[in-house]
Structure 1
Protein backbone atom coordinates (compact mmCIF):
# COMPACT_ATOMS: atom_id res chain seq x y z
CA UNK A 1 0.00 0.00 0.00
CA UNK A 2 2.71 2.48 0.96
CA UNK A 3 5.93 3.61 -0.72
CA UNK A 4 9.17 2.06 0.41
CA UNK A 5 10.83 3.66 3.43
CA UNK A 6 14.36 3.72 4.78
CA UNK A 7 12.97 1.83 7.74
CA UNK A 8 11.74 -1.61 6.75
CA UNK A 9 10.19 -1.83 10.21
CA UNK A 10 8.06 1.22 9.42
CA UNK A 11 6.97 -0.46 6.19
CA UNK A 12 6.02 -3.53 8.18
CA UNK A 13 3.98 -1.46 10.63
CA UNK A 14 2.11 0.31 7.83
CA UNK A 15 1.37 -3.00 6.13
CA UNK A 16 0.16 -4.46 9.41
CA UNK A 17 -2.20 -1.54 9.95
CA UNK A 18 -3.49 -1.83 6.40
CA UNK A 19 -4.12 -5.55 6.92
CA UNK A 20 -6.06 -4.83 10.10
CA UNK A 21 -8.25 -2.35 8.24
CA UNK A 22 -8.99 -4.97 5.58
CA UNK A 23 -9.77 -7.51 8.30
CA UNK A 24 -12.17 -5.09 9.95
CA UNK A 25 -13.72 -4.32 6.58
CA UNK A 26 -14.29 -8.02 5.94
CA UNK A 27 -16.01 -8.40 9.29
CA UNK A 28 -18.29 -5.44 8.55
CA UNK A 29 -19.07 -6.82 5.08
CA UNK A 30 -20.14 -10.06 6.75
CA UNK A 31 -22.41 -8.07 9.07
CA UNK A 32 -24.07 -6.41 6.09
CA UNK A 33 -24.62 -9.74 4.35
CA UNK A 34 -26.17 -11.23 7.47
CA UNK A 35 -28.33 -8.17 8.08
CA UNK A 36 -29.53 -8.26 4.48
CA UNK A 37 -30.43 -11.92 4.77
CA UNK A 38 -32.19 -11.28 8.07
CA UNK A 39 -34.45 -8.59 6.61
CA UNK A 40 -35.25 -10.68 3.53
CA UNK A 41 -36.10 -13.80 5.55
CA UNK A 42 -37.35 -12.04 8.71
CA UNK A 43 -34.84 -14.24 10.56
CA UNK A 44 -34.49 -13.19 14.19
CA UNK A 45 -31.61 -15.58 14.92
CA UNK A 46 -29.42 -14.13 12.18
CA UNK A 47 -30.36 -10.61 13.31
CA UNK A 48 -29.10 -11.43 16.80
CA UNK A 49 -25.81 -12.67 15.33
CA UNK A 50 -25.34 -9.31 13.61
CA UNK A 51 -25.87 -7.51 16.91
CA UNK A 52 -23.42 -9.79 18.71
CA UNK A 53 -20.72 -9.17 16.06
CA UNK A 54 -20.83 -5.44 16.77
CA UNK A 55 -18.74 -5.84 19.93
CA UNK A 56 -15.89 -7.33 17.87
CA UNK A 57 -16.10 -4.51 15.31
CA UNK A 58 -15.91 -1.91 18.08
CA UNK A 59 -12.94 -3.64 19.66
CA UNK A 60 -11.09 -3.72 16.34
CA UNK A 61 -11.54 0.03 15.97
CA UNK A 62 -10.05 0.59 19.42
CA UNK A 63 -7.11 -1.75 18.70
CA UNK A 64 -6.31 -0.11 15.35
CA UNK A 65 -6.48 3.37 16.87
CA UNK A 66 -4.09 2.25 19.61
CA UNK A 67 -1.63 0.94 17.00
CA UNK A 68 -1.95 4.17 15.02
CA UNK A 69 -1.16 6.30 18.07
CA UNK A 70 1.88 4.19 18.79
CA UNK A 71 3.21 4.45 15.22
CA UNK A 72 2.68 8.22 15.08
CA UNK A 73 4.39 8.75 18.45
CA UNK A 74 7.41 6.60 17.56
CA UNK A 75 7.87 7.44 13.88
CA UNK A 76 6.64 11.04 13.69
CA UNK A 77 5.63 10.59 10.03
CA UNK A 78 5.23 13.47 7.62
CA UNK A 79 3.65 14.15 4.22
CA UNK A 80 2.03 11.13 2.55
CA UNK A 81 2.84 8.76 5.41
CA UNK A 82 0.98 10.97 7.87
CA UNK A 83 -1.93 11.34 5.46
CA UNK A 84 -2.09 7.56 5.12
CA UNK A 85 -2.23 7.06 8.88
CA UNK A 86 -4.90 9.73 9.22
CA UNK A 87 -6.90 8.08 6.43
CA UNK A 88 -6.63 4.70 8.15
CA UNK A 89 -8.03 6.23 11.34
CA UNK A 90 -10.93 7.85 9.51
CA UNK A 91 -11.59 4.68 7.50
CA UNK A 92 -11.84 2.53 10.62
CA UNK A 93 -14.23 5.09 12.12
CA UNK A 94 -16.43 4.85 9.04
CA UNK A 95 -16.29 1.04 9.09
CA UNK A 96 -17.41 1.09 12.71
CA UNK A 97 -20.35 3.25 11.71
CA UNK A 98 -21.22 0.84 8.93
CA UNK A 99 -21.30 -1.83 11.62
CA UNK A 100 -23.67 0.40 13.56
CA UNK A 101 -25.95 0.59 10.54
CA UNK A 102 -25.91 -3.20 10.18
CA UNK A 103 -26.83 -3.49 13.85
CA UNK A 104 -29.64 -0.97 13.34
CA UNK A 105 -31.02 -3.10 10.50
CA UNK A 106 -30.86 -6.18 12.73
CA UNK A 107 -32.75 -4.42 15.50
CA UNK A 108 -35.45 -3.37 13.07
CA UNK A 109 -35.72 -7.00 11.95
CA UNK A 110 -36.34 -8.05 15.54
CA UNK A 111 -38.96 -5.33 15.91
CA UNK A 112 -40.70 -6.40 12.70
CA UNK A 113 -40.70 -10.07 13.70
CA UNK A 114 -42.23 -9.17 17.06
CA UNK A 115 -45.07 -7.32 15.32
CA UNK A 116 -46.13 -10.34 13.31
CA UNK A 117 -47.79 -10.51 9.92
CA UNK A 118 -48.46 -6.90 8.88
CA UNK A 119 -45.04 -6.57 7.27
CA UNK A 120 -45.73 -9.44 4.87
CA UNK A 121 -47.85 -7.07 2.81
CA UNK A 122 -44.98 -4.58 2.53
CA UNK A 123 -42.29 -4.51 -0.20
CA UNK A 124 -39.45 -5.59 2.12
CA UNK A 125 -37.88 -7.76 -0.56
CA UNK A 126 -37.26 -4.66 -2.68
CA UNK A 127 -34.65 -3.57 -0.17
CA UNK A 128 -32.40 -6.32 -1.52
CA UNK A 129 -31.37 -4.23 -4.53
CA UNK A 130 -30.26 -1.34 -2.35
CA UNK A 131 -28.55 -3.66 0.12
CA UNK A 132 -26.60 -5.36 -2.68
CA UNK A 133 -25.55 -1.96 -4.03
CA UNK A 134 -24.37 -0.81 -0.60
CA UNK A 135 -22.45 -4.03 0.00
CA UNK A 136 -20.80 -3.76 -3.42
CA UNK A 137 -19.83 -0.14 -2.78
CA UNK A 138 -18.15 -1.10 0.49
CA UNK A 139 -16.33 -4.04 -1.08
CA UNK A 140 -15.09 -1.89 -3.98
CA UNK A 141 -13.91 0.95 -1.76
CA UNK A 142 -11.95 -1.41 0.49
CA UNK A 143 -10.24 -2.83 -2.59
CA UNK A 144 -9.55 0.71 -3.82
CA UNK A 145 -8.14 1.67 -0.42
CA UNK A 146 -5.80 -1.34 -0.42
CA UNK A 147 -4.46 -0.23 -3.83
CA UNK A 148 -4.83 3.53 -3.23
CA UNK A 149 -6.69 3.63 -6.54
CA UNK A 150 -8.06 7.13 -7.11
CA UNK A 151 -9.86 6.19 -10.34
CA UNK A 152 -11.81 3.49 -8.49
CA UNK A 153 -12.49 5.94 -5.65
CA UNK A 154 -13.96 8.43 -8.10
CA UNK A 155 -16.19 5.75 -9.64
CA UNK A 156 -17.49 4.83 -6.20
CA UNK A 157 -18.34 8.43 -5.43
CA UNK A 158 -20.16 8.79 -8.74
CA UNK A 159 -22.12 5.60 -8.06
CA UNK A 160 -23.55 6.80 -4.76
CA UNK A 161 -26.50 8.43 -6.50
CA UNK A 162 -27.83 4.96 -7.41
CA UNK A 163 -28.34 4.18 -3.73
CA UNK A 164 -29.98 7.54 -3.17
CA UNK A 165 -32.35 6.79 -6.05
CA UNK A 166 -33.27 3.39 -4.58
CA UNK A 167 -33.91 4.98 -1.19
CA UNK A 168 -36.16 7.70 -2.59
CA UNK A 169 -38.17 5.19 -4.61
CA UNK A 170 -38.63 2.88 -1.65
CA UNK A 171 -39.80 5.74 0.57
CA UNK A 172 -42.45 6.71 -1.99
CA UNK A 173 -43.74 3.12 -2.04
CA UNK A 174 -43.91 2.95 1.75
CA UNK A 175 -45.89 6.18 1.88
CA UNK A 176 -48.38 4.68 -0.57
CA UNK A 177 -48.75 1.54 1.56
CA UNK A 178 -49.26 3.57 4.75
CA UNK A 179 -51.90 5.76 3.12
CA UNK A 180 -53.80 2.75 1.79
CA UNK A 181 -53.64 0.71 5.00
CA UNK A 182 -52.89 2.52 8.30
CA UNK A 183 -52.30 -0.86 9.97
CA UNK A 184 -48.96 -1.03 8.14
CA UNK A 185 -47.67 2.28 9.51
CA UNK A 186 -45.64 0.83 12.39
CA UNK A 187 -43.92 -1.82 10.30
CA UNK A 188 -43.47 0.63 7.43
CA UNK A 189 -41.56 2.95 9.74
CA UNK A 190 -39.29 0.04 10.72
CA UNK A 191 -38.59 -0.61 7.05
CA UNK A 192 -37.97 3.09 6.51
CA UNK A 193 -35.24 2.98 9.16
CA UNK A 194 -33.77 -0.08 7.44
CA UNK A 195 -33.74 1.70 4.07
CA UNK A 196 -32.06 4.75 5.61
CA UNK A 197 -29.42 2.55 7.25
CA UNK A 198 -28.64 0.97 3.88
CA UNK A 199 -28.37 4.40 2.26
CA UNK A 200 -25.99 5.51 5.01
CA UNK A 201 -23.70 2.55 4.30
CA UNK A 202 -23.23 3.97 0.83
CA UNK A 203 -22.40 7.37 2.34
CA UNK A 204 -19.67 5.82 4.48
CA UNK A 205 -18.20 4.10 1.42
CA UNK A 206 -18.10 7.49 -0.28
CA UNK A 207 -16.31 8.96 2.74
CA UNK A 208 -13.62 6.28 2.50
CA UNK A 209 -13.24 7.02 -1.22
CA UNK A 210 -12.56 10.66 -0.34
CA UNK A 211 -9.78 9.59 2.04
CA UNK A 212 -8.09 7.66 -0.79
CA UNK A 213 -7.87 10.87 -2.83
CA UNK A 214 -6.57 12.70 0.25
CA UNK A 215 -3.72 10.19 0.69
CA UNK A 216 -2.65 10.16 -2.95
CA UNK A 217 -3.22 13.79 -3.93
CA UNK A 218 -2.99 15.57 -0.60
CA UNK A 219 -6.31 17.27 -1.37
CA UNK A 220 -9.30 17.33 0.96
CA UNK A 221 -12.26 16.83 -1.40
CA UNK A 222 -14.97 16.51 1.25
CA UNK A 223 -18.06 18.59 0.41
CA UNK A 224 -16.59 19.34 -3.03
CA UNK A 225 -18.43 19.24 -6.33
CA UNK A 226 -17.79 16.32 -8.66
CA UNK A 227 -16.27 18.73 -11.17
CA UNK A 228 -13.73 19.91 -8.59
CA UNK A 229 -12.86 16.35 -7.60
CA UNK A 230 -12.34 15.31 -11.21
CA UNK A 231 -10.07 18.30 -11.83
CA UNK A 232 -8.07 17.39 -8.72
CA UNK A 233 -7.36 13.97 -10.16
CA UNK A 234 -6.14 15.22 -13.54
Structure 2
Protein backbone atom coordinates (compact mmCIF):
# COMPACT_ATOMS: atom_id res chain seq x y z
CA UNK A 1 0.00 0.00 0.00
CA UNK A 2 1.15 3.52 -0.73
CA UNK A 3 1.77 5.23 2.58
CA UNK A 4 4.41 7.56 3.95
CA UNK A 5 5.94 8.30 7.33
CA UNK A 6 6.10 11.70 8.94
CA UNK A 7 9.47 13.38 8.57
CA UNK A 8 11.55 13.92 11.70
CA UNK A 9 12.74 17.43 12.47
CA UNK A 10 15.69 18.90 14.31
CA UNK A 11 13.18 20.29 16.79
CA UNK A 12 11.78 17.47 18.91
CA UNK A 13 9.04 19.81 20.08
CA UNK A 14 7.89 20.31 16.48
CA UNK A 15 7.55 16.54 16.04
CA UNK A 16 5.59 16.34 19.28
CA UNK A 17 3.31 19.20 18.22
CA UNK A 18 2.49 17.49 14.92
CA UNK A 19 1.92 14.11 16.57
CA UNK A 20 -0.27 15.64 19.27
CA UNK A 21 -2.51 17.38 16.77
CA UNK A 22 -2.84 14.21 14.70
CA UNK A 23 -3.79 12.28 17.83
CA UNK A 24 -6.43 14.86 18.68
CA UNK A 25 -7.89 14.55 15.18
CA UNK A 26 -8.18 10.79 15.61
CA UNK A 27 -9.86 11.25 18.99
CA UNK A 28 -12.34 13.62 17.40
CA UNK A 29 -12.86 11.12 14.59
CA UNK A 30 -13.58 8.33 17.06
CA UNK A 31 -16.22 10.46 18.76
CA UNK A 32 -17.82 11.37 15.44
CA UNK A 33 -17.86 7.74 14.32
CA UNK A 34 -19.67 6.76 17.53
CA UNK A 35 -22.14 9.60 17.03
CA UNK A 36 -22.98 8.25 13.58
CA UNK A 37 -23.42 4.70 14.92
CA UNK A 38 -25.70 5.88 17.73
CA UNK A 39 -27.73 8.10 15.40
CA UNK A 40 -28.42 5.22 13.01
CA UNK A 41 -29.27 2.91 15.89
CA UNK A 42 -31.66 5.48 17.34
CA UNK A 43 -33.39 5.84 13.98
CA UNK A 44 -33.68 2.14 13.20
CA UNK A 45 -34.70 1.07 16.71
CA UNK A 46 -37.00 4.02 17.36
CA UNK A 47 -34.95 5.03 20.41
CA UNK A 48 -35.91 8.63 21.07
CA UNK A 49 -33.72 9.00 24.16
CA UNK A 50 -30.63 7.86 22.28
CA UNK A 51 -31.50 10.23 19.44
CA UNK A 52 -31.71 13.15 21.86
CA UNK A 53 -28.41 12.10 23.44
CA UNK A 54 -26.73 12.17 20.02
CA UNK A 55 -28.12 15.63 19.35
CA UNK A 56 -26.92 16.93 22.72
CA UNK A 57 -23.47 15.40 22.22
CA UNK A 58 -22.70 17.50 19.16
CA UNK A 59 -21.33 20.30 21.34
CA UNK A 60 -18.33 18.10 22.19
CA UNK A 61 -17.53 17.61 18.50
CA UNK A 62 -17.71 21.38 17.99
CA UNK A 63 -15.44 21.98 20.98
CA UNK A 64 -12.81 19.61 19.62
CA UNK A 65 -12.88 21.27 16.21
CA UNK A 66 -12.18 24.67 17.80
CA UNK A 67 -9.36 23.31 19.95
CA UNK A 68 -7.63 21.51 17.07
CA UNK A 69 -8.02 24.52 14.80
CA UNK A 70 -6.32 26.66 17.44
CA UNK A 71 -3.50 24.10 17.72
CA UNK A 72 -2.97 24.27 13.95
CA UNK A 73 -2.94 28.06 14.05
CA UNK A 74 -0.23 28.00 16.72
CA UNK A 75 1.86 25.57 14.65
CA UNK A 76 1.55 27.78 11.57
CA UNK A 77 2.52 30.88 13.54
CA UNK A 78 5.43 29.39 15.48
CA UNK A 79 6.91 26.89 13.04
CA UNK A 80 6.01 28.36 9.65
CA UNK A 81 5.99 24.84 8.12
CA UNK A 82 6.83 24.27 4.48
CA UNK A 83 6.30 21.54 1.86
CA UNK A 84 4.99 18.30 3.39
CA UNK A 85 4.56 19.80 6.85
CA UNK A 86 2.41 22.58 5.46
CA UNK A 87 0.34 20.07 3.49
CA UNK A 88 -0.17 18.05 6.66
CA UNK A 89 -1.42 21.01 8.67
CA UNK A 90 -3.65 22.06 5.78
CA UNK A 91 -5.06 18.52 5.52
CA UNK A 92 -5.73 18.48 9.25
CA UNK A 93 -7.60 21.79 9.16
CA UNK A 94 -9.76 20.56 6.28
CA UNK A 95 -10.29 17.15 7.90
CA UNK A 96 -11.65 18.55 11.17
CA UNK A 97 -14.06 20.72 9.18
CA UNK A 98 -15.50 17.62 7.53
CA UNK A 99 -15.54 15.73 10.83
CA UNK A 100 -17.53 18.58 12.39
CA UNK A 101 -19.99 18.45 9.49
CA UNK A 102 -20.34 14.69 9.93
CA UNK A 103 -21.19 15.45 13.55
CA UNK A 104 -23.82 17.94 12.37
CA UNK A 105 -25.40 15.30 10.13
CA UNK A 106 -25.41 12.79 13.01
CA UNK A 107 -27.09 15.42 15.19
CA UNK A 108 -29.73 15.91 12.49
CA UNK A 109 -30.39 12.16 12.31
CA UNK A 110 -30.60 12.01 16.12
CA UNK A 111 -33.24 14.75 16.24
CA UNK A 112 -35.25 13.12 13.44
CA UNK A 113 -34.99 9.76 15.23
CA UNK A 114 -36.42 11.38 18.37
CA UNK A 115 -39.33 12.81 16.37
CA UNK A 116 -40.04 9.50 14.64
CA UNK A 117 -39.74 7.35 17.76
CA UNK A 118 -43.35 7.92 18.80
CA UNK A 119 -44.76 7.11 15.35
CA UNK A 120 -45.69 3.78 13.80
CA UNK A 121 -43.47 3.12 10.78
CA UNK A 122 -44.27 0.84 7.82
CA UNK A 123 -42.93 -2.69 8.26
CA UNK A 124 -39.44 -2.99 6.81
CA UNK A 125 -39.06 0.76 6.35
CA UNK A 126 -35.67 0.90 8.06
CA UNK A 127 -34.10 -2.32 6.83
CA UNK A 128 -32.24 -0.74 3.93
CA UNK A 129 -31.48 2.35 6.03
CA UNK A 130 -29.67 0.17 8.56
CA UNK A 131 -27.51 -1.29 5.79
CA UNK A 132 -26.80 2.16 4.40
CA UNK A 133 -25.89 3.37 7.89
CA UNK A 134 -23.42 0.53 8.38
CA UNK A 135 -21.84 1.24 5.01
CA UNK A 136 -21.48 4.94 5.74
CA UNK A 137 -19.99 4.31 9.17
CA UNK A 138 -17.50 1.91 7.55
CA UNK A 139 -16.49 4.71 5.16
CA UNK A 140 -15.86 7.06 8.07
CA UNK A 141 -13.79 4.39 9.80
CA UNK A 142 -11.76 3.71 6.66
CA UNK A 143 -11.16 7.43 6.08
CA UNK A 144 -9.86 7.77 9.64
CA UNK A 145 -7.63 4.71 9.14
CA UNK A 146 -6.24 6.28 5.97
CA UNK A 147 -5.52 9.45 7.94
CA UNK A 148 -3.93 7.56 10.86
CA UNK A 149 -1.71 5.45 8.58
CA UNK A 150 -1.16 8.21 6.00
CA UNK A 151 -2.21 5.67 3.37
CA UNK A 152 -3.32 6.98 -0.01
CA UNK A 153 -4.50 3.56 -1.25
CA UNK A 154 -6.98 3.22 1.60
CA UNK A 155 -8.09 6.80 0.98
CA UNK A 156 -8.72 6.00 -2.69
CA UNK A 157 -10.80 2.96 -1.69
CA UNK A 158 -13.05 5.26 0.36
CA UNK A 159 -13.84 7.27 -2.75
CA UNK A 160 -14.74 4.10 -4.62
CA UNK A 161 -17.09 3.06 -1.79
CA UNK A 162 -18.96 6.35 -2.10
CA UNK A 163 -20.30 5.26 -5.48
CA UNK A 164 -21.97 2.25 -3.84
CA UNK A 165 -23.34 4.42 -1.06
CA UNK A 166 -24.91 6.71 -3.67
CA UNK A 167 -26.64 3.70 -5.25
CA UNK A 168 -27.91 2.52 -1.87
CA UNK A 169 -29.17 6.02 -1.12
CA UNK A 170 -31.15 6.11 -4.36
CA UNK A 171 -32.63 2.69 -3.58
CA UNK A 172 -33.82 3.84 -0.13
CA UNK A 173 -35.27 6.99 -1.70
CA UNK A 174 -37.31 4.91 -4.14
CA UNK A 175 -38.54 2.69 -1.31
CA UNK A 176 -39.68 5.68 0.75
CA UNK A 177 -41.52 7.12 -2.24
CA UNK A 178 -43.24 3.75 -2.70
CA UNK A 179 -44.42 3.83 0.92
CA UNK A 180 -45.86 7.31 0.40
CA UNK A 181 -47.66 6.30 -2.79
CA UNK A 182 -49.16 3.22 -1.17
CA UNK A 183 -50.32 5.06 1.94
CA UNK A 184 -50.51 8.87 1.76
CA UNK A 185 -50.90 8.98 5.55
CA UNK A 186 -47.19 8.18 5.82
CA UNK A 187 -46.06 11.14 3.69
CA UNK A 188 -45.05 13.44 6.54
CA UNK A 189 -43.31 10.62 8.36
CA UNK A 190 -41.47 9.44 5.26
CA UNK A 191 -40.31 12.96 4.52
CA UNK A 192 -38.53 12.97 7.89
CA UNK A 193 -37.02 9.61 7.01
CA UNK A 194 -35.84 11.00 3.68
CA UNK A 195 -34.08 13.86 5.48
CA UNK A 196 -32.29 11.32 7.68
CA UNK A 197 -31.28 9.25 4.66
CA UNK A 198 -29.99 12.35 2.92
CA UNK A 199 -27.89 13.09 6.01
CA UNK A 200 -26.35 9.61 5.76
CA UNK A 201 -25.48 10.18 2.12
CA UNK A 202 -23.82 13.46 3.05
CA UNK A 203 -21.74 11.70 5.72
CA UNK A 204 -20.39 9.45 2.97
CA UNK A 205 -19.44 12.56 0.98
CA UNK A 206 -17.56 14.02 3.94
CA UNK A 207 -15.71 10.74 4.50
CA UNK A 208 -14.69 10.87 0.84
CA UNK A 209 -13.39 14.41 1.34
CA UNK A 210 -11.17 13.23 4.21
CA UNK A 211 -9.73 10.55 1.96
CA UNK A 212 -8.97 13.18 -0.67
CA UNK A 213 -7.05 15.25 1.90
CA UNK A 214 -4.92 12.20 2.69
CA UNK A 215 -4.10 11.79 -1.01
CA UNK A 216 -3.21 15.48 -1.14
CA UNK A 217 -0.82 15.12 1.78
CA UNK A 218 0.84 11.94 0.50
CA UNK A 219 1.21 12.91 -3.16
CA UNK A 220 0.79 16.68 -3.21
CA UNK A 221 -2.04 16.28 -5.71
CA UNK A 222 -5.38 18.04 -5.26
CA UNK A 223 -7.90 15.43 -6.42
CA UNK A 224 -11.06 17.23 -5.36
CA UNK A 225 -13.82 17.69 -7.93
CA UNK A 226 -12.52 14.86 -10.11
CA UNK A 227 -13.93 11.45 -10.96
CA UNK A 228 -12.77 8.36 -9.10
CA UNK A 229 -11.09 7.16 -12.30
CA UNK A 230 -9.16 10.42 -12.63
CA UNK A 231 -8.25 10.25 -8.96
CA UNK A 232 -6.88 6.74 -9.42
CA UNK A 233 -4.79 7.87 -12.39
CA UNK A 234 -3.36 10.72 -10.34
CA UNK A 235 -2.40 8.37 -7.51
CA UNK A 236 -0.73 5.92 -9.90
CA UNK A 237 1.11 8.74 -11.65
CA UNK A 238 2.34 10.11 -8.32
CA UNK A 239 3.65 6.65 -7.40
CA UNK A 240 5.60 6.50 -10.65
CA UNK A 241 7.13 9.90 -10.03
CA UNK A 242 8.28 8.82 -6.57
CA UNK A 243 9.72 5.49 -7.74
CA UNK A 244 13.55 5.53 -7.68
CA UNK A 245 15.32 5.20 -11.02
Q: Normalised by the size of structure 1, how large is the TM-score?
A: 0.96
**1:180-204 C-alpha deviation (Å, 9 max, x unpaired):** 1100001100110111111111100
Asked whether the 8 Å contact 1:144–1:150 carries over to 2, the reply is: yes
Number of the residue aligned with 1:28: 32
- Please list the CA deviations of residues 58-80 of structure 1 after superposition, one character each: whole Å capped at 9, or x if unmatched: 00000000010001000000111
Segments of 5+ residues of structure 2 without an aligned counterpart are 237-245
Q: Does the 8 Å contact 1:122/1:177 carry over to 2?
A: no
Structure 1 segments unaligned to the other structure (5+ residues): none
Deviation for aligned residue 1:122: 5.7
Name the structure where helix makes up a greater proportion of residues.
1
RMSD: 1.1
- d(CA) in 1 for partners of 2:212 and 2:64? 22
The aligned runs of 1:153-168 (5 Å cut-off) are 153-168=155-170
1:225 aligns with 2:219: no
* 8 Å Cα contact 1:2/1:14 also seen in 2: no
Given candidates 150, 153, 164, the residue that maps to 1:151 is: 153
For 1:233, what is the secondary structure of its paired residue? helix
Cα contact 1:29–1:138 (8 A) shared by 2:
yes
TM-score by length of 2: 0.92
Q: Distance in 1 between matches of 2:45 and 2:231?
A: 40
Large movers: runs of 4+ above 6 Å: none
Provide the C-alpha distance between the structure 2 equivalents of 1:30 and 1:217, rounded to a whole number of angstroms. Answer: 30
State the 1:232 CA deviation.
1.6
Q: 1:36 Cα shift?
A: 1.2
| Number of residue pairs the alignment of both structures matches | 232
